[in-house]
Structures are given as C-alpha cells and as structure tokens.
A = this chain, B = another copy of it.
Amino acid sequence: MSQGYCEKKSEGETCNEAENMEHLKRSSRGIVLDTIRKTERVARIDIANETGMSAATVTGISAELLSQGLIEEVAPDASPSDSRRGRPRVGLKIRGEAHLVAGVKIADRSAVVALLDFEGKLVGEFSLPLPHLKMSAQECAGFIRELMEAAMATNGRHLSDLSGIGLGMAGVIDAPRGFVHWSPSLTTRNVPLRQLLADTFAAAGPCPPIFLDNDVNLVALAEQWFGLGRNVSDFIVVTIENGVGMGIVINDNIYRGTRGCGAEFGHTKVQLDGALCRCGQRGCLEAYVADYALLREANISGEAFQDPNAEKQVQELFYKAKAGDVTARTIFQRAGKMFALGLANIVNIFDPKLIILSGERMQFDYLYAGEVIENMKNSVVQIDVSPPEVRIHKWGDLMWAKGAAVFAMEGVTERALRELSKNAR
C-alpha cells in the first residue's frame, strides 16, 4: 500500500495538487542537477536521454539552474569523438563558486575541517586538537565555532562565505532533529547540539545552516560521492577505529532507523554474556575488535609498549603479530574471527551488493585479511550466487570531513531547489 506522493506533513494536514505538481517539478530540477553532477560535464540532449525528460523540459530547467548560478555552460568539447557525431555541443557543469560548504569531523583527539566548493572540489582544509577528549556540550559548541573561524581565516575566507556546515561525530545521533542521544566526545547525553551550535555561531554574526549526523553515515556519503559507492544503490560501510561503525545505503539513501539509532553494528552481540564493552553491556562486537579491546588483551598478557598513545600501541601490537609473536597473533586472530561473524550477520540480514571496509586503520590488514573475508563468506547463507563483494578503502580523517561537507552540500542543494520552486510559483 503505497503512500500519496505529497510530502509528508504533520497529521491532519493535507497538501493540494498544485503543491504535488511543484514537488514533482522540484524533483525534476533535482534530477537534472544530479545528472549534471554525476556526469561532471554533459550536454542538454544527453540529460534528456539519460532521464527520459523531453529536450524542452531539460532546456527549461537548465535555464532556471543557470539563472540561479547553480550550473554554468562550458565551451564545446572539440575532442574527435564529439566532432565525429556532428557539431560539438555546449556542455553543462556544476558551478563550483555557487556555494562553499564546510565539513567537520570530530575525531578522537582532533577535529578536521574540509572546505568544498559546489562541484565537490576540496578548496581548503584545517585541523585543531580537541581541548579535551570529552567536552561539555557548551565547550564543544564553542570549540567548533573557534575551529571554523580559524579554518576560514587560514584559507583566506570568512564564516559568512559558507552556505552550510556539516558536522559528523561518533555516537547515537538523530540527524533530522540535529540531536545527540549520546556521543563518546561529549560529557552529557541528550544534547540538542544543532540548536546549541546555531546559538553559539549566531552570537558572532549570521550563521549558515548546520547539519549534524553520525560520522559513519557521513563516510557512507563520502563513499557514495567520491569513493567505491559511486553508482551502487545498496551498500554497507564498516569502519573500525576506536569503535566500530556502520553506514547503510538502501536505494541510494542513508538508512537511519526510526529513532536515529540504527546501524549500531559495533554493539551487535557476538557472544552471550561475553567481553565487557565500553557501553556497559557484554559481548558487543566492539568489545572484541576495537582498539581498547585489543589493548585489554595485550595488557593481560603483560605486553610492554614503547608509546603511551593507545593508537600507537595497537600499531606496535600489530607489527608484533606480523613478525610472528604468538600472543599478539592470537589477539588479532580472535578479533578477526569475531569481525567475520559480525560481518556475516550483516550479509545474512541485508544481502547488500557491496561491503566497504573503510577508514584510516585499514593498514591493520591482519584484521581485514583475506582470511577474515573468507571466514565471513563461509558463514553466510550458501546459495549458488556469489556473496557480496568486500572492498577495502583506506583513508584518513579528511575523508570523514569531506563526507560531512557533502551532507551540508545536500542540505544546501535541497534549500536552493526549494528556493527556485518558491520563486517559480
């Protein structure tokens, strides 16, 4: 039983047909814009062919998008392949200067900022250490304002140049409400962080819209825009760092669950009454594969580390395992088995096309080696069709920040289209 195609309104409200038609036209504008974005440089006629819209509709919509400065014309490509097909055609592309957006990733010890133009090109970056590993909500908001002011100044810009700021952090976050149920970076629960940030920025001048989400959802977005998830409608991103995260893309959209706390892969249980997790429960996948879990085991076996930094210690442990140290190997081996089990559960439930193991620590390939993937494949329901492909994608905090910027870009684009739609009425 499908729903009406008018936008969802609060109960009791209905929307009229004119609004429905305008909604469809807005979708058409969005489809044209997406097509241009995906193709990078495309002639109007090819947009028509690609989308099934008439040439006239595409021309009309292009004119609107051009007049708003969201796209621009580019000189005909005089390459032989074009000229062979007749007169070279004027191309359309996204106009990079149309909007500037920022993405912020709050990592364990630092925050990283990426600045993207409307084409998605990286035009600036910046980072600062966190004042504390855990911040009060107020301190966090103040820090992000300072961070952004410094990031803009360093890149010769001002806050007022920004059309939107995307913010990704670990934790359970209700993205539509901009609400943090819980985050390891904050000292308190239930923080209406988006509102708090808006208030904090407003004190310094006009505040660009702020978009807030769980950081792994934003990695999934980055994969969709720039990475291995391009043109894949259904895929899953798993990250292992200090914790274990997951982003789910179904039908080209991030799946967030009804309370905004789906995709908590790290807290799926792999052992009844198992190892204690940071969350206070037992047997969570994270309690077997996250940094602290590996170090807990290393401590028990009396491992002595050179470096006081946990991340470095895990690295040391990893090199020991690689060099043949039996205890270190045992530690990584169990982690690998549990990780394979958790992954298999995801495949058995979602049956995705692709799984992307993503993040900075992918150099610890002991955990993600062929053996683990093989284990996973042996633990999924066996049918005579290949199990989903697993691909490994190493990248650093900057890519998380780029994902946050993309989230802001989507919000900014949606607003721009709504604006166009309002003017058209």
- A residues within 8 Å of B by Cβ? 1-6, 14-17, 19-20, 24, 27, 30-31, 34-35, 37-38, 49-54, 57, 172, 181-182, 189-190, 224-225, 233-234, 246, 248, 250, 252, 255-265, 267-272, 279-281, 283, 337-338, 341, 344-346, 348-353, 378-385, 388
Pick from B6, B20, B250: contact of A250, CB below 8 A: B250
A349 B15 Cβ-Cβ under 8 A: no
| Distance in angstroms between the alpha carbons of A381 and B30 in the assembled complex | 36
Query: Which 4 A-B residue pairings sit nearest by Cβ, starting from the closest?
Result: A257-B351, A262-B351, A181-B383, A6-B52
Residue of B nearest to A20 (CB): B52
Pick from B52, B263, B269, B345: contact of A379, CB below 8 A: B269
| Distance in angstroms between the alpha carbons of A85 and B279 in the assembled complex | 57
| Distance in angstroms between the alpha carbons of A157 and B27 in the assembled complex | 48
Given A272-B271, A384-B190, check contact A2 B20 (CB 8 Å): no
Given A1-B252, A337-B272, check contact A53 B257 (CB 8 Å): no
Given A189-B384, A383-B172, A388-B258, check contact A268 B348 (CB 8 Å): yes
Q: Which residues of B contact A52 (CB under 8 A)?
A: 4, 6, 14-17, 19-20
| Distance in angstroms between the alpha carbons of A385 and B252 in the assembled complex | 28
Q: A14-B52, A264-B380, A269-B345 are in contact. List 4 more A-B contacts (CB 8 A).
A: A17-B54, A182-B383, A264-B348, A269-B344
A contacts with B: majority SS: loop
Pick from B54, B225, B272, B337: contact of A338, CB below 8 A: B272
CB of A105 to closest CB in B, whole Å:
21
B263 A349 Cβ-Cβ under 8 A: yes
Q: 14 A–B contact pairs at CB < 8 A? A: A4-B31, A6-B51, A6-B52, A17-B57, A20-B53, A189-B383, A257-B351, A257-B352, A259-B383, A263-B351, A264-B381, A268-B344, A279-B381, A345-B345
| Distance in angstroms between the alpha carbons of A269 and B256 in the assembled complex | 23
| Distance in angstroms between the alpha carbons of A386 and B90 in the assembled complex | 56
A31 B5 Cβ-Cβ under 8 A: yes
| Distance in angstroms between the alpha carbons of A17 and B269 in the assembled complex | 49
| Distance in angstroms between the alpha carbons of A344 and B38 in the assembled complex | 38
Query: Max chain B CB contacts within 10 Å: which of A16, A341, A378?
Result: A341
Pick from B24, B252, B281, B378: contact of A2, CB below 8 A: B252
A258 B281 Cβ-Cβ under 8 A: no
| Distance in angstroms between the alpha carbons of A345 and B267 in the assembled complex | 8
Q: Which residues of B contact A272 (CB under 8 A)?
A: 270-271, 337-338, 341
| Distance in angstroms between the alpha carbons of A224 and B2 in the assembled complex | 11
CB of A112 to closest CB in B, whole Å:
24
Residue of B nearest to A57 (CB): B17
A382 B279 Cβ-Cβ under 8 A: yes
| Distance in angstroms between the alpha carbons of A34 and B51 in the assembled complex | 28
Q: Which residues of B contact A258 (CB under 8 A)?
A: 234, 351-353, 388
